[in-house]
């Protein structure tokens, strides 16, 4: 039977572009996805009756995939003669299911690459030891870790204040408004209001890796533009996030988040990553693996400082990199930059040409061609030759045609060196973006710091914030009004602020405690019509709204119960509950502790509370959406309904 479906299976597999390269099926990729029970692969296999019959078993109406049989079949040398067999002996460095020597790409390998790094720091002054989960040894824990989380503490925020969002059963839908549009009844309470989550501006507080996975059920494949300014891994103390990762940990941290981010991008979307020299070149190779080297678009150099650092030991560091990758380069189109007034002013019409304003350009070139080296007689009778080592841009015949069409300018008196007329009406409707961005065009760190100081007073909350003009250019190139823009290292909220002023829908994720005092506060000022940054340029007057929500803490529940306990007896009940349902630090031997509890009982209530709080595992932070019904987590009916609305389940 196997041999009868060889060709049929090949036809099915060839429909999945992930499994084909240069016209040939990739056996190792097929095996990898089969072992993972990849949903798209299984859908392809189920479509064909013969293939379905060969590799699936019907159990009470449920099709069960026999991955072992399928892998043995694919490994058969008669199916793919040039593929590896199940027993082929070969020694070498492996990346996934393939030997590095067999791959066409440059592969970046490092310790912990096969791990998920939680990255759960929430306070600037806590440089915690990060938690790693090995993909091979702890797949169940990783699956649980990355499951969508329960969202809580919902608020809709507009220029008039905060409004708690409540679910009260069937309601009429008031559509959410993105960007510059104001919400209907924005001054009213949000109770009884249904939100169109697909169009809603959103801030999520909580671990950004887990927030990204929580966004996937609703926003996978819908985000047009992602911009992030991640920790640079420099070891400096002036960066809010854990900027003391070692190199391997940082690469793992970024890989986990970029893989999740890619799944959120639309096929015609792109991601831009701000980074410095310390990790930029490693990050480029890492992104080649995640997004595909063929989807690399550009490396932009941004002049972040306008003055030299005279105390620099080697070179004055005046630039950052912005790496640009498309989800699918074939589907992505960059948008031309609008022509500035300064550029428009370069065009005039001194000879009243009917084709309108024009500017003139040099007609000579360095690339020498004998046929283009000849004298030109100007209308005034002057003989003009190209400069030494240069020649004209055109042959004599072509020049004569251009002169007849009044496209060559010899000056008002007809005696100047000829220049080519370039009409404003004939140039494209914008400017192709360059890969070098000067501070005079897009701003610098000092400009951004001053802008933040004017908003918050005193010192700026960040040492190296990004200017709004920089984000304006990024959004101009990669998005249009109404598109979804995502930033999962939100920081001071610059991406959201600029996206809002430019009429984009935006989503921000921020896990640091300053999200309330900085990120949310910054966006509130935008709604109120603050006039910093690009406000005057885009004629920003205020308006619109956003929804704020948080990943629902898990151990936080017990933390609050501990803090609220009034007596030692009440605290003992909480301790029993924590042992049953909470998550304790691996450093605590619970059996030994309970066996020798006399010392604990003798402590004051305050000291007992402090000990239990220190025993909680702060890596187990949030409640899974799939476990929302567990009564121990005390998720209210109202919050359950809001989560069902958000996740569409």
Which tens digit of pLDDT belongs to each residue from 377-400? 999 999 999 998 899 999 999 999
Which one, of 152, 130, 322, 134, lies nearest residue 225 by Cα? Answer: 322
Confidence class for position 123, pLDDT limits 50, 70, 90: low
> Rounded to an integer, what distance in angstroms lies between the CA atom of residue 155 and that of residue 134?
36
3-state secondary structure of 452: helix
Q: What does the alpha-carbon distance between residue 561 and residue 573 come to, in Å, rounded to a whole number?
A: 10
Check pLDDT > 90 for residue 352.
yes
Report the C-alpha gap between 280 and 88 in whole angstroms.
Answer: 38
**What does DSSP say about strands 419-423 and 202-205: parallel, antiparallel, or unpaired?**
unpaired
- Domain boundaries, given as residue ranges, for the chain: 2-102, 139-336+435-551, 341-426, 555-620
- Checking if the pLDDT of 25 tops 90, the result is no
453-476 residue pLDDT tens: 888 877 766 777 899 999 999 999
pLDDT-based confidence at 11, cuts 50/70/90?
A: confident
Assess whether pLDDT exceeds 70 at residue 75: yes
Res 618 pLDDT > 90: no
Residue 435 has pLDDT above 50, yes or no: yes
**Taking a C-beta distance cutoff of 8 angstroms, is the pair 63, 53 a contact?**
no
Look at 85-94, 220-229, 244-253 and tell me which has the smallest mean pLDDT.
Answer: 85-94
d(CA 185, CA 178) in angstroms, rounded, equals 15
Share of the chain above pLDDT 90, in %: 46
| pLDDT score of 126 | 54
Take residue 416 and report the two structure tokens written for it. 């100047």
- Among the residue ranges 95-104, 455-464, 517-526, the one predicted with the least confidence is 95-104
Taking only the tens place, the pLDDT of each residue in 600-615 is: 888 889 888 888 888 8
The answer on pLDDT for 544 being more than 60 is yes
User: Does pLDDT of 53 surpass 50?
Assistant: yes
Mean predicted confidence (pLDDT) in 251-278:
95
Picking from 617, 551, 632, 631, the residue whose alpha carbon sits closest to that of residue 149 is 551
User: pTM of the predicted model, to two decimals?
Assistant: 0.69
Higher local confidence (pLDDT), 486 or 604? 486
State the chain's mean pLDDT as an integer.
83
CB 505 within 8 A of CB 485: yes
Tokens encoding 538: 């885009």
At 101 the pLDDT is: 54
Q: Is the pLDDT of residue 178 over 60?
A: no
Q: What is the pLDDT of residue 238?
A: 39
Give CA–CA dist 336/478, Å, rounded.
9
Please give the Cα distance from 450 to 437 (Å, whole number). Answer: 20
pLDDT of residue 428: 63
CA max distance for the chain: 112
DSSP string for residues in 9-20: HHHHHTTSGGGE
**Averaged over 535-561, what is the pLDDT?**
89
- Residue 496: pLDDT over 90: yes
pLDDT digits (tens, 9 = 90+) for 131-156: 677 777 777 778 888 999 999 999 99
Class for domain 139-336+435-551, per CATH? Answer: alpha beta
- Asked if pLDDT for residue 161 goes beyond 70, the answer is yes
Q: Find which of 169-183, 213-227, 546-560 is predicted with most confidence, using mean pLDDT.
A: 213-227
What pLDDT shows up at residue 183?
31
Of 199-208, 231-240, 270-279, 497-506, the least confident: 231-240
| Residue 571 · residue 609 · CB < 8 Å | yes
Helices 39-47, 6-13: crossing angle, 10 deg rounding: 130
Give the mean pLDDT of 559-570: 87
- The per-residue pLDDT for 611 is 85
Coil vs helix vs strand at 484 = strand
Say which residue the tokens 């204040």 belong to. Answer: 161
What is the three-class DSSP state of 161?
Answer: strand
Q: In this predicted structure, what is the pLDDT of residue 331?
A: 94
The rounded radius of gyration (Å) of the Cα atoms in the chain is 31
Task: List the alpha helices (DSSP H) in 126-243.
Answer: 139-146, 208-219
List Cα–Cα distances, 443 to 149, 239, 339, 449, 531, in angstroms. Answer: 38, 20, 18, 11, 16
> Which residues lie across from 162 on neighbouring strands?
157
Half-sphere exposure of 64 toward its Cβ, with a 13 Å CA cutoff?
Answer: 7
Q: Which residues contact 397 (CB under 8 A, 6 or more apart)?
A: none
The pLDDT of 269-278, averaged and rounded, is 95
Cα dihedral 233, 235, 237, 238 sign: negative
Query: Is residue 211 over pLDDT 90?
Result: yes
- Mean pLDDT for 563-580 is 88
């Amino acid at each position: 039977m196997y041999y009868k479906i060889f060709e049929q299976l090949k036809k099915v597999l060839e429909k999945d572009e992930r499994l084909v390269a240069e016209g040939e099926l990739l056996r190792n990729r097929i095996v990898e996805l089969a072992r993972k029970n990849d949903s798209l692969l299984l859908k392809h296999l189920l479509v064909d009756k013969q293939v379905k019959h060969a590799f699936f078993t019907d159990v009470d109406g449920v099709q069960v995939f026999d991955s072992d049989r399928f892998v043995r079949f694919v490994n058969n040398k008669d199916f793919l003669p040039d593929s590896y067999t199940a027993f082929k002996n070969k020694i070498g460095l492996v990346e996934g299911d393939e030997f590095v020597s067999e791959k066409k790409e440059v592969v970046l390998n490092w310790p912990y690459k096969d791990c998920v790094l939680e990255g759960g720091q929430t306070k600037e002054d806590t440089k915690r030891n990060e938690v790693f989960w090995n993909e091979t040894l702890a797949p169940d824990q990783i699956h649980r870790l990355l499951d969508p989380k329960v969202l809580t503490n919902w608020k809709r925020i507009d220029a008039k204040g905060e409004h708690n969002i409540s679910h009260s059963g069937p309601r009429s839908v008031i559509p959410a408004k993105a960007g510059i549009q104001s919400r209907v009844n924005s001054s009213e309470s949000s109770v009884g209001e249904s939100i169109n989550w697909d169009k809603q501006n959103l801030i999520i507080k909580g671990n950004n890796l887990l927030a990204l996975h929580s966004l996937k059920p609703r926003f996978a494949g819908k985000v047009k533009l992602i911009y992030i300014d991640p920790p640079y891994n420099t070891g400096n103390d002036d960066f809010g996030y854990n900027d003391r990762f070692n190199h391997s940990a940082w690469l793992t941290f970024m890989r986990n988040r970029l893989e999740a981010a890619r799944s959120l991008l639309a096929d015609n979307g792109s991601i831009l990553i701000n980074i410095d020299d310390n990790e930029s070149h490693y990050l480029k190779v890492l992104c080649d693996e995640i997004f595909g080297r063929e989807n690399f678009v550009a490396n932009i150099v941004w002049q972040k400082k306008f003055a030299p650092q005279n105390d620099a030991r080697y070179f004055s560091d005046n630039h950052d990199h912005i790496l640009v990758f498309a989800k699918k380069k074939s589907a992505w189109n960059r948008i031309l930059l609008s022509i500035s007034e300064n550029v428009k002013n370069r065009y005039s019409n001194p000879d009243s040409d009917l084709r309108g304003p024009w500017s003139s350009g040099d007609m000579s070139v360095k690339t020498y061609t004998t046929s283009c080296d000849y004298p030109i007689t100007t209308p005034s009778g002057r003989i003009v030759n190209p400069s030494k080592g240069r020649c004209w841009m055109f042959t004599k015949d072509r020049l004569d045609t251009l002169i007849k069409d009044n496209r060559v300018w010899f000056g008002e008196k007809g005696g100047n060196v000829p220049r080519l007329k370039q009409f404003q009406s004939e140039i494209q409707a914008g400017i192709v973006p360059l890969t070098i961005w000067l501070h005079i065009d897009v701003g610098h760190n000092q400009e951004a710091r001053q802008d933040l100081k004017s908003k918050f007073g005193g010192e700026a909350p960040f040492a190296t914030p990004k200017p709004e003009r920089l984000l304006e250019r990024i959004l101009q190139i990669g998005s249009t009004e109404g598109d979804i823009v995502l930033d999962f290292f939100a920081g001071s909220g610059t991406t959201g602020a600029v996206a809002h002023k430019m009429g984009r829908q935006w989503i921000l994720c921020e896990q640091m405690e300053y999200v309330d005092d900085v990120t949310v506060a910054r966006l509130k000022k935008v709604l109120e019509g603050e006039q910093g940054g690009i406000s005057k340029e885009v004629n920003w007057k205020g308006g619109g709204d956003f929804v704020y929500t948080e990943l629902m803490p898990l151990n936080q529940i017990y933390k609050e119960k501990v803090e609220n306990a009034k007596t030692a007896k009440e605290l003992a009940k909480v301790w029993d509950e924590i042992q049953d349902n909470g998550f304790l630090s691996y450093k605590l031997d619970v059996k030994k502790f309970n066996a020798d509890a006399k010392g604990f009982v003798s402590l004051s209530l305050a000291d007992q509370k402090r000990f239990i709080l220190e025993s909680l595992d702060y890596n187990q932070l949030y409640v899974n959406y799939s476990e929302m019904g567990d009564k121990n987590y005390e998720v209210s009916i109202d919050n359950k309904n809001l989560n069902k609305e958000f996740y569409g389940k």
